């Protein structure tokens, strides 16, 4: 688990952006090394800070779970992927201006 923390005092306007850029580079590096990652944004910050003795001046921005990927998906994961398909690019992207559908 990687815990990304930003220093609110050192960079009051940019600590979130700086931290997330660094964490995204960790995700890319882990992926290039054949590892799997999962970005976690839903957590109890106070519990994380207490568990790891993180000083108050830092804000926990996100967590990244990192490890080896499963070789095969279990039945539950297969069912989830069957019923929760990826959204089509045309549904989430615009062309040149917001709301102008991307046509492929």
- What's the rounded Cα separation, in Å, for the pair 22 and 38? 15
Lowest mean pLDDT: which of 9-18, 30-39, 68-77? Answer: 68-77
CA distance 41 to 30: 18
User: How confident is the model over 14-36, as a mean pLDDT?
Assistant: 95
Domain count, the chain: 1
Mean pLDDT of 51-77: 87
- The CATH number of whichever domain residue 10 belongs to comes to 3.40.109.10
Query: Considering the domain boundaries, does residue 98 fall inside one?
Result: no
Say whether pLDDT at 66 is over 70: yes
Residue 87 is part of which domain span? 2-92
DSSP assignments along 3-42, one per residue: EEEEETTT-TTTHHHHHHHHHHHHHHHHHHTTEEEEEE--
44, two tokens: 């109890």
Of 6 and 83, more confident: 6
In a domain, 103, yes or no: no
Q: Is residue 66 part of a domain?
A: yes
Residue 70 lies in a domain: yes
């Amino acid at each position: 688990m990687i815990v990304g923390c930003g220093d609110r005092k050192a960079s009051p306007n940019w600590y979130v952006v700086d931290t997330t850029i660094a964490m995204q580079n960790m995700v890319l590096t882990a992926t290039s090394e054949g590892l799997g990652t999962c970005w976690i944004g839903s957590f109890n910050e106070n519990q994380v800070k207490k568990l790891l003795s993180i000083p108050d001046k830092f804000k926990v921005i996100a967590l990244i779970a990192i490890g080896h990927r499963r070789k095969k998906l279990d039945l539950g994961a297969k069912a989830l992927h069957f019923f929760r398909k990826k959204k089509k690019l045309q549904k989430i992207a615009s062309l040149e201006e917001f709301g102008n559908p991307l046509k492929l």
